[in-house]
Amino acid sequence: MNTQHKRYCVALSAIFVSALLIVFVTTASVSHAQDLRLTINGGQTKGAFNQVASGWAAYITKHVGGITASSKASAGSLDNTRQVDAGKSQMGIVFASDLHDGVKGIGSFKNAMSNVRYVTFLFGSVGHFVVPADSDIKKLEDIKGKTISMGGPGSGSAKNLTKLLKHVGLWGTFKDVYAGRKSSDQLVNGKVAAYNWHPGIGSGFIRGTTNKIKIRLIDLGAPAKESGFYAEFPYFEPTKIPAGVYPGVDQDSMTIGTGTLMIARADVPDDVVYKILKSVYSDEGKKFLAAAFGGRAKQMTIANGNKNLVAPLHPGAMKFWKEMGKNF
């Protein structure tokens, strides 16, 4: 074979390989473009809601065929309920308290959120009312005249505590501010006397505060019980934060707890919600999610699956949970 012929063959091979690559990339792009796209609303950047939403989105995209999911930061539970209802996102993470009020159009919701549907319980969220260990706030009523960070502006954490404080008659007796993730630094610097956060037990955010100062947790459970709060708001329940969960907090702390839930918009196809649940509750799914957001994933069990069912169940979720032996 002469040199000119060899050059011709090499050139022809290069063209052939390039053509194959173009076909492959184009086919992959078209296939990806045809995927159903889902946006899952989380919460504040670096917060628990965002970690969970990101974990779900990554797993769905990688393991559930025909779906490309992404997570989106938001103001939190209230915002997520409204955005899913309005179709700005297809799924979202919310507190049971906000979902309950949203579907009824009460509390912080002027209109009923008729397009949101329950999918699954994720993990329990509990109130943490954090003060410095040497604070003169010994019980909840001691907040009178103090500056308190309620959580993030418009957040479910803030709304949950607001419900309790209004119910026990303390609302308006203190200065409320909404420092969000700056709450910890403001407590350390003395700008606020206490802050409220409503994550799962063992929150990294609160552990971060204990790295800077010694803290105590104020009992929210006693005033809730004594005032009839649980009867008035049945989606809350007495919850114990065990001693030793947070460094330096050496005694059990009673507080209020509610469920953190995944919701979907009603028009998300039934088979999509069913496939997602089937996949995330597989052994592979639970292992992936445990790596993505830690101990919270352990509460995602079949037994807990339809806990805090305070809204209409999505038909795709209904199919899955009935297969799991749940009765509705």
206/202 Cα distance (integer angstroms) = 8
**Class level of CATH domain 126-259:** alpha beta
pTM: 0.79
Identify whether the C-beta of residue 44 lies closer than 8 Å to the C-beta of residue 155: yes
Side-chain-side CA neighbours of residue 148 (13 Å): 29
Sequence ranges of the domains in the chain: 31-123+260-323, 126-259
251/270 Cα distance (integer angstroms) = 46
- Any idea which residue has 């330096």 for tokens? 248
Tens digit of pLDDT per residue, the chain (328 long)? 554 544 444 444 444 434 443 444 344 444 445 789 999 999 988 788 999 999 999 999 999 999 999 999 998 999 999 999 999 999 999 999 999 999 999 988 999 999 999 999 999 999 999 999 999 999 999 999 999 999 999 888 999 999 999 999 999 999 999 999 999 999 999 999 999 999 989 999 999 999 999 999 999 999 999 999 999 998 999 999 999 999 999 999 999 999 999 999 999 999 999 999 999 999 999 999 999 988 889 999 999 998 999 999 999 999 999 999 998 7
**Class level of CATH domain 31-123+260-323:** alpha beta
Q: Is 24 helix (H, G, I), strand (E, B) or coil?
A: helix
